[in-house]
Amino acid sequence: MSFLMDNLPIFLIAIPLLMAPITILTKGSPGLQKVIDIVVGFGLLCLSALLITTVWKHGIIAYDVGEFGKYGIVIVADLLGAGMVVLNCLIGFLGLVYSYDYIEDKSLNQTYHSLYNLMLAGINGIFLTGDIFNMFVFFEIMLLSSAALIVSNENSKVTKISDKMEATMKYLVLNILGGNVMLIAVTSLYASIGSLNMADITLKIRVLAEAGAVPWHLYAVGLLFIIVFGGKAAMFPLHYWLPDVHPTAPSPISAMLSGVIIKIGAYGILRVLFMMFAPFQAVYGPVILFMALVTLGLGATSAIGQTDVKRMLAYSSVSQIGYVFLGFGMAAMANAAGEAEAATLILGASVVYLINHALAKSMLFLTSGGIIHTAETRDMRQMGGMVSKAPMMGVAFLVGAMSIGGVPPMGGFISKFLLFDAGLRSQFYMPIGIALIFAVFTLFYMFRGWMLIFWGERDPQYGEYSHHKLSPLIVAPVLILAAIVLILGLYPEPVVQLSQTIANQIIDPQPYIDAVMVRVIR
């Protein structure tokens, strides 16, 4: 047990990396392959829960990888990183279970398991690394594996392979360009600061700022990081890849894209804005606030005009990530003005929003897979009356629609209430007013989608719905996520408390710095 606890952070990266070749070697035995993968997926979920519990009770964990010393490679698990790992392992495990009946056997047995494990390893690595260059390396692992997963074939032949390839090309090109920009930013930062360790970078930039000796190009380097992470989060104007990728990706991969992968961008912004480049918040805060308002408005407006259920949900994800960044921008401006308490309150509300959106939108994308499986189309105009054919999907979609729309008693209501309340307390009246207007848009397009799909009757010209019943492997993950969304609305206190503690650690990164810089090297 002590061996497990001593090496807990690295296991969450090493195990899925090891499983990637193992699942390739066992592709001749699909049953064994599935058993191994599901056991490992559940094991990762348990380890992630153990990690966040350990960090909550005993503080931040800093783990050395190799004997490189103080400024070498280090894995760091604070509450933010550990919490994101829990989200990744939870949604990843449920998405894997869902895949067993949703993905075509040929794709599933050949490469799907291996690529899925690589994706999980890359995402966990991003959330746990304390080294900015290794974050870039884990980005590349995540990017290449997720891009290959997008072209996996579903059992339902609704999507053309040509559309999958086009969307994947956009995803790859934009992210490869973003990777090059990030590499330029990393090398420029190293040339200026002489370190890749995020805690060390934070200290050195803080010293330069206090001495009034910050070189001008560091502002540009920080902006490059914001551009890269903003692109990964689908923030305007780098959002256009998401609405094309979601309709063509298999639904479990869409759930990972919206629930976790775009949250990587939000995670990166938190590390840049509130830790490494914290002295520049007065400059970056208004920029992020403005882009957040444009993003949430553009996403909500675009979602109204969609007829493709997954494209509507994709634009909704763009809009909802705008609300998360709205909190980041307001918190940065409040913190730059010396209002640390207000900044913590706003940031805590943003973390609550991020968690609730990750769960609700993942559930909605998994639900959309069941809808498409039954209707054999993504066009909502060709649906109707599905509540009698797939009642479980109808209930789940309604729960998700209520949560994203901010209707009580769902978790999304608590998220919006906390964010708007915190913003108004800090006198961000205009941004909150704009956000409220587009919250009404959100209500409209989510409930319009539910009505088109589940209410009324299907037009006879489109024939009857598929007689293929949805298996428990598809229904169970959807219902589990729906139950979590409802529970977080009825009993939000644990998540709110955790989020406020995370916000405290983000606003005051000194405990993170101390854990990394003042430690015994193994």
Q: What pLDDT digit, counting tens, does each position of 289-310 carry?
A: 999 999 999 889 988 988 888 8
* pLDDT for res 170: 82
Helix-helix angle 113-128:30-58, to 10 degrees: 10
Query: How far apart, in whole angstroms, are the C-alpha atoms of residue 73 and residue 502?
Result: 23
Question: Which distant-in-sequence residues (6+ apart) come within 8 Å of 50 by Cβ?
Answer: 8
What is the spatial distance between Cα 313 and Cα 340, in angstroms, rounded to a whole number? 35
- Provide the 3-class DSSP secondary structure of residue 103: strand
Q: Which among 399, 422, 304 has a CA at the least distance from the CA of 353?
A: 422
262-271 vs 340-375: helix crossing angle, rounded to 10: 170
Task: Identify the helix (H) or strand (E) that includes residue 62.
Answer: strand 61-64
Cα–Cα separations (whole angstroms), residue 129 to 20, 142, 296, 488: 20, 14, 30, 29
Task: Report pLDDT for 449.
Answer: 86
What is the value of pTM for the model shown? Answer: 0.91
> For residue 345, what pLDDT is reported?
92
The pLDDT score that the predictor gives to residue 209 is: 84
How far apart, in whole angstroms, are the C-alpha atoms of residue 443 and residue 504? 32
Q: So what's the pLDDT on residue 305?
A: 83
Nearest alpha-carbon partner for 88 in 53, 128, 61, 57: 128
Report residue 59: phi and psi, to 5°. 100, 180
Question: CB–CB of 423/383 below 8 Å?
Answer: no
Dump pLDDT digits (tens) for 126-179: 999 888 888 888 988 888 888 888 887 776 677 777 777 777 888 888 888 888
CA distance from start to end of the chain: 18
- The DSSP string of 165-207 is HHHHHHHHHHHHHHHHHHHHHHHHHHHHHS--BHHHHHHHHHH
Burial class (CB in 10 A: 0-12, 13-18, 19+), 509: buried
DSSP assignment of 450-463, as one string? HHHHHSS---GGG-
**How far, in Å, CA of 198 to CA of 205, rounded?**
11
The neighbour count for residue 260, using CB atoms within 10 Å, is 28
- 3-state SS, residue 467: coil
76's CB contacts (< 8 A; 6+ apart) are: 9, 60, 61, 62, 63, 128, 129, 130, 198, 199, 512, 515, 516
| Residue at token pair 């056991």 | 39
29: tokens are 């035995």
**To the nearest whole percent, how much of the chain has pLDDT over 90?**
21
| Residue (of 282, 299, 280) closest to 291 by Cα position | 299
- CB-based burial label for 99 (10 Å; 0-12, 13-18, 19+): buried
Integer Cα distance of 102 and 133 in angstroms: 36
CA distances to 344, 448, 449 from 348, rounded to whole Å, are: 6, 31, 31
CA angle (74 as vertex; 496, 269 as ends), nearest 5: 45
pLDDT, position 155:
67
- pLDDT lower than 50: segments of the chain: 69-70, 520-522
CB 413 within 8 A of CB 407: yes
Q: What is residue 520's predicted lDDT score, i.e. its pLDDT?
A: 47
Q: What is the pLDDT of residue 326?
A: 93
As a dihedral over the C-alpha atoms of residue 51, residue 54, residue 58, residue 62, rounded to 10 degrees, the angle is -20
DSSP one-letter code for 63: E
